[in-house]
Amino acid sequence: MRRPVWAWLALSSVAISDATAATRPHYGGSLTVELSNAQTSPDPAEWNTALSMPITETLVRLNARGGIESGLSVAWQHDADWKRWRFSLRPKVTFHDGDPLNGASAAPALLAALKKKYSDVSIQTGGQAIVIQSSAAMPDLLSDLAEASAAVVRHSETNPLIGTGPFRVTASEPGHRLTLAAFDDYWGARPYLDSIAIEFGSVRTRADVFDIPVGPARRILPEGIATWSSAPRSLVAITAANVHPVLMQALALIIDRAPIVNVLAQRKGEAAFSLLPQWLTGYAFLFQSTPDLVRAKQLISQLRLAPMSLSYPANDVFLRTVAERVALNARDAGIAIQPTPNAGGNLRLIEIPLQSTDGATELERIAGALGMSHADSGKSESLYEAERSLLDRVIPLVHLRETYGISPRVHIESSKSDAFALHLEDFWVQP
Amino acid sequence: MSFRAKVFLSIAATAVVAVWIVAEVVSTLVTQSFERRDAQRTAALVNQFQREFDRRGVEVARRIEVVADSDAMQRLALNLAGHADTSSYFTLAQTVAQEQSLDFLELVGTDASIISSAEWPARFGYKEDWLAQPVDWKTQGAFLEKEDLADGQALGLITVRTVKAGDGMLYIAGGRRLDQEFLDSLPGSEGMRVRLYRQPGEVPSVKSDATVTTIPLRGRDNQLLATLLIENSRADLVALKRYIQETAAIVGGAGVLLGLLLSFWTASRVTRPLRLLASSVREVAVGKWDTRATVSSSDEIGQLARDFNGMTEQLVEQRDRMIQAERVAAWRELARRLAHELKNPLFPLQITIENLQRARDASPQQFDEVFRESTTTLLAELGHLKTIIGRFSDFAKMPAPQLEAVNINQLAREVLQLFEAQLQAPGRPPVKAILQLAANAGEVQADPDQLRRALHNLVLNALDAMPHGGELVFRTSRHDNKVAIEISDDGEGLTPEECDRLFTPYYTTKQHGTGLGLAIVQSVVSDHKGTITVHSELGKGTTFRIELKA
């Protein structure tokens, strides 16, 4: 069951130029994009950024409210046991290389994606029909098919990413740059832009669109640059190995999240007391608390405390400063924590991306990322209980947003944008 | 202890003590010299430290002044005055500290909360209450302050300046680290080590051969923040003292060796004449009275040798005189004995002859009978004279002993057996003979006839000493390769004077004795390389003891 996610819309910040609404969209032109992280995957769907570059498409997709809507599939049905699904593919859809989309051409990518979760899954095709069968029930198949990893994609020797989306790859240099061009034969509306040039590992802020990494460094933006922040797209949390639950509870009470959000993250996030953000579950406020040093000291008064180490990714400046702040807070309670860039400490500071607009799916994925398991359930009460049980072993600190700088010449057709992602097919530039 | 050992010990002890005293004096002087040098070096280093401390303090104050006057600080102060958000200044302190080459820099707001910290960025929001104290920071120079860091504490040379905007106050506290690197920059001397101890309870590890001077480093409120430890290595001093000790040991050893040689030389110089003199004394002791000591020097030893030679000369003269006197005495005694012995038979001869003359004149008819009786008497007395002369002749012609194995106990029994008839003769006072013969007496190399004769004489002597009867004890024993024969009587005994002259030839205490019996005994014993002694007490008896080599 999908949760209504209207609430996150209020939390997301969209600070785009007012001129965009008053100007008519313009076709043509090129867009330059700079991303600070060097992405090595050729598929932008796997980059997990808020900047959506639709080269490939899925059979179904999640809308901004977490609901399922049609993608390359226009209709679907399943049997009573959720073991057999039948999808009808959208007609007159072609891949970027001109081949038509049909069951046979879509099946290999789908089978490879579904095999990861359903080991005995099989796909039968016939014309525009695809039948997916498994001995196990597949009630979440639609959510699974909405994942970027289940995109319908083909590869060739010259083009590693042949999809059906509104943009096609014209040049690819993994880790450095990627060039896209509008796909004129796209089954939907043609994108406004003719081409997009994406450069990785750059922080020059000279491009039309660039990301502003989370961190304590003060960044002065060029004049006229607008910023756009997404809904929380990652969770920064502390996980523990062989640490007493009471000590974890005390640590959760000791850490003051507000300075982390306001100063270290420069407000590009929210204090996190739960794994899933408020916009995704609606109940996150129930976990909210204020630092209580006295209570924390009471909790650990009976414990024999040994020095601990808090590891963080060595090249992540933001997480390093967070780890130092956590150690400072812990010291106030008499807990010795040594931040260390080496992995393998008692405590680990990690950042987990939030990829789905579905709470249960996201919680399961987070639990998997933390090496835990939880009882999956579509009911909010069970989701709440499942998340609460996980909180004995993990301390959420902050939900981080993604922030982008956008030059004044760039406009976004806001009717297609949402707070979770910026869709490049909605972008157009002033001539 | 020998004279040589005494000389050696004296010389060796003198050498060792003298060297030890010299070594101690030299060591003490060297130590005092090194201590003066170390004190001067330490004072120079402390002065240098103070100068460098002041210089860096001025430099830190200048840099903080530059920071305080910068536009960024003015903007921040204005933000504080307007109560604006200062979170974006989180990294400012790090940037400015890097620009100004400051190790510490904290930007602190009006409420003493850290806005930005270069040395511990994570401490933003924490309070630095000491900055809000009513202090005129503008006139306050650089001071020592203990700075909290993520990995511990550090000592800093800190200056504080303030920037005021409206009702907002920005505190800028920054400085340089006072650490080992700072101390290493001080020009030190070889062998000096300067260290900083920040923990009051920290026990510095100091080399055992070093002297340490501690300088307390105090903060703004005079609290002890650290201790400057100046360590002066005494390795040179220790090496020098060890060299002195080794040299002293070598010199002392040489002194001992020299003492040894000197003691040998001195001993040989001193004791050799003494040994020669002692050898001469021993020769004199064995009868070589004409021995002369060599006089090789004119010192006390030479005088002693000369005196020794004079003494031996006198002894020889006295001996010669004594021999002469004894010879005279012996001849006199011999003449007296001969006269006595010869006088007795001569008197009957004279009477007989005179009687014979009177008988021829008075009664020729009885002359024949008288003649016959007189010639008989004359012959008897002449025979007596002949016997006397024979005895003297025998004593003069005592033969050399013919040695053979003689069983002492058996010989004793044989001798005593000869006297059995005499001891048991009727009418004679009873004499009881007692044999006390040791089973281990064994045999000796002796002339059995001469030895029997000697023992025979001793038994005769004992019987003569007991005219009224008594006990005669014949005793043998064996000790230390010597066989002893004792013959005791319980007669009247002898006086010491009699004992002294007992073995003198022709000396006798008896009316009918010739005085040759004991002389013969002594002659036999002497010819057998033995000794004879007499022990006698008046009224208790006399014991003769003969000792022969087994």
- Condensed to tens digits (0 to 9), the pLDDT of residues A112-149 reads 999 988 889 999 999 999 999 999 899 889 988 988 88
> For residue B87, which residues of chain A lie inside 8 Å, CB to CB?
262-263, 266-267
Substitution target from A214, A218, A227 for chain B, most B beta carbons within 10 A: A218
Is the separation of the CB atoms in B195 and B171 below 8 Å? Answer: no
Q: Closest-CA residue in chain A for B87?
A: A263
Going by their DSSP bridges, the two strands A226-229 and A13-15 should be labelled as antiparallel
- Cα–Cα distances (Å) from B467 to B211, B250, B285, B455, in that order, read 106, 86, 42, 19
Nearest to A140 by CA among A62, A63, A71, A233: A62
Instruction: Dump strand ranges (E) for A79-184.
Output: 84-89, 122-126, 129-133, 167-173, 177-182
Residue owning tokens 């001891």: B423
B404-549, CATH topology level: Heat Shock Protein 90 (3.30.565)
> For residue B121, which residues of chain A lie inside 8 Å, CB to CB?
216, 321, 324
The pLDDT value recorded for residue A8 is: 36
Substitution target from B79, B87, B92, B115 for chain A, most A beta carbons within 10 A: B87
- Cα–Cα distances (Å) from A418 to A34, A196, A262, A413, B452, in that order, read 21, 20, 24, 11, 160
Question: Which residue from A259, A267, A327 is facing B125, i.e. has the nearest CB?
Answer: A259
Helix axes B71-81, B92-99, angle to 10 degrees: 160
Rounded CA gap, B269 and B261, in Å?
12
Q: Are B92 and A218 a contacting pair at CB < 8 A?
A: yes
> For residue B126, which residues of chain A lie inside 8 Å, CB to CB?
328
> For residue B76, which residues of chain A lie inside 8 Å, CB to CB?
none
> For residue B122, which residues of chain A lie inside 8 Å, CB to CB?
321, 324-325, 327-328
Of chain A, the percentage scoring pLDDT greater than 90 comes to 39
pLDDT in tens, A270-321: 999 999 998 888 888 888 888 898 999 998 888 888 889 999 998 888 999 9
B1-173+236-264, CATH topology level: Beta-Lactamase (3.30.450)
The DSSP-derived string for A307-350 is: -EEEE--TT-HHHHHHHHHHHHHHHHTT--EEEESSS-SSEEEE
Q: Three-class SS of residue B64?
A: helix
CA distance A331 to chain B (A): 10
Q: Which two tokens stand for residue B422?
A: 């005499």
Task: Enumerate chain B positions whose Cβ falls within 8 A of a Cβ in A.
Answer: 85, 87-92, 120-126, 150
pLDDT in tens, B342-361: 777 777 788 888 888 888 88
| Helices and strands, counts by H and E, chain B | 12, 15
CA distance A76 to chain B (A): 51
3-state DSSP of B338-390:
HHHHHHHHHHHHHHHHHHHHHHHHHCHHHHHHHHHHHHHHHHHHHHHHHHHHH
- Position A99, amino acid: D
Chains A, B: CB contacts within 8 A come to: 38
CA distance A217 to chain B (A): 6
Question: Which residue from A218, A325, A327 is facing B88, i.e. has the nearest CB?
Answer: A218
CA distance A137 to chain B (A): 50
Question: Which ipTM score applies to this complex?
Answer: 0.76
Helix axes A380-390, A359-369, angle to 10 degrees: 20
Is the separation of the CB atoms in A406 and A228 below 8 Å? Answer: yes
Domain parsing of chain B, residue ranges: 1-173+236-264, 341-396, 404-549
Q: Are A218 and B126 a contacting pair at CB < 8 A?
A: no
Rounded CA gap, B358 and B381, in Å?
20
3-state DSSP of B17-53:
HHHHHHHHHHHHHHHHHHHHHHHHHHHHHHHHHHHHH
CA–chain centroid gap for B251, Å, is: 22
The pLDDT value recorded for residue A11 is: 34
Helix (H) or strand (E) holding A352: strand A347-353
What's chain B's length in residues? 550
- Position A152, amino acid: V
Exposure string for A288-327, b = 16+ CB within 10 A, e = fewer: eeebeeeebbebbeeeeeeebbbbbbeebebbbbbbbbbb
Q: Are A218 and B91 a contacting pair at CB < 8 A?
A: yes
Nearest to A282 by CA among A13, A68, A63, A8: A8
Question: Which residue from B88, B123, B126 is facing A266, i.e. has the nearest CB?
Answer: B88
The pLDDT value recorded for residue A114 is: 92
Q: Which two tokens stand for residue A61?
A: 């997709």
Q: Which two tokens stand for residue A218?
A: 């003060």
CA distance A94 to chain B (A): 50
CA distance A423 to chain B (A): 30
Residue owning tokens 């095709």: A125
Residue owning tokens 């270069």: B118
Q: Are A327 and B150 a contacting pair at CB < 8 A?
A: yes
CA distance A407 to chain B (A): 22
Instruction: Dump strand ranges (E) for A225-327.
Output: 226-229, 234-240, 269-271, 308-311
Q: Closest-CA residue in chain A for B94?
A: A217
Other C-beta atoms within 10 Å of A203: how many?
A: 13
Task: Enumerate chain A positions whose Cβ falls within 8 A of a Cβ in B.
Answer: 216-218, 256, 259, 262-264, 266-267, 321, 324-325, 327-328, 339
Is the separation of the CB atoms in B546 and B531 below 8 Å? Answer: yes
Rounded CA gap, B387 and B342, in Å?
11
Question: Which residue from B85, B90, B123 is facing A216, i.e. has the nearest CB?
Answer: B90
DSSP conformation class of B127: B
> For residue A213, which residues of chain B lie inside 8 Å, CB to CB?
none
Q: What is the mean pLDDT of chain A?
A: 84
**Is the Cα torsion angle B371, B374, B376, B381 positive or negative in sign?**
negative
The pLDDT value recorded for residue B115 is: 93
Q: Closest-CA residue in chain A for B121?
A: A321
User: Which residues, at least 6 apart from B205, have a Cβ–Cβ distance to it below 8 Å?
Assistant: none
Substitution target from B91, B96, B117, B153 for chain A, most A beta carbons within 10 A: B91
- Cα–Cα distances (Å) from A248 to A254, A265, A332, A397, B367, in that order, read 10, 23, 15, 13, 176
Q: Are B87 and A262 a contacting pair at CB < 8 A?
A: yes
DSSP conformation class of A190: P
CA distance B197 to chain A (A): 23
Is the separation of the CB atoms in B151 and A336 below 8 Å? Answer: no
Q: Are A328 and B126 a contacting pair at CB < 8 A?
A: yes
Instruction: Give the pLDDT of chain B (550 residues) as one tens digit per residue.
Output: 777 788 788 888 888 888 899 888 988 998 888 888 888 888 887 888 888 888 888 999 999 999 999 998 988 888 888 777 888 888 899 999 999 999 999 999 988 999 999 999 899 999 998 888 888 888 888 898 888 888 888 889 999 999 988 888 899 999 998 877 777 777 766 777 787 777 665 666 666 677 788 888 888 888 888 888 887 777 888 888 888 889 888 988 888 888 888 888 887 777 777 778 888 888 888 878 778 888 877 888 888 888 888 888 888 888 788 877 777 776 776 777 677 767 777 777 888 888 888 888 877 777 888 888 888 888 888 887 887 787 777 777 777 888 899 999 999 999 888 888 888 777 788 888 899 999 998 899 999 988 998 999 899 888 888 888 899 999 999 988 899 999 999 988 888 888 887 787 666 776 666 677 888 888 889 888 899 999 998 888 999 999 998 8
> For residue A339, which residues of chain B lie inside 8 Å, CB to CB?
150
**pTM (two decimals):** 0.61
What domains, with CATH codes, occur in chain A?
A: 26-55+165-230+408-431 (3.40.190.10), 56-154 (3.90.76.10), 234-400 (3.10.105.10)
Phi-psi region of B112 (alpha: psi -120 to 50; beta: other; left: phi over 0): left
Nearest to A281 by CA among A50, A14, A48, A2: A2
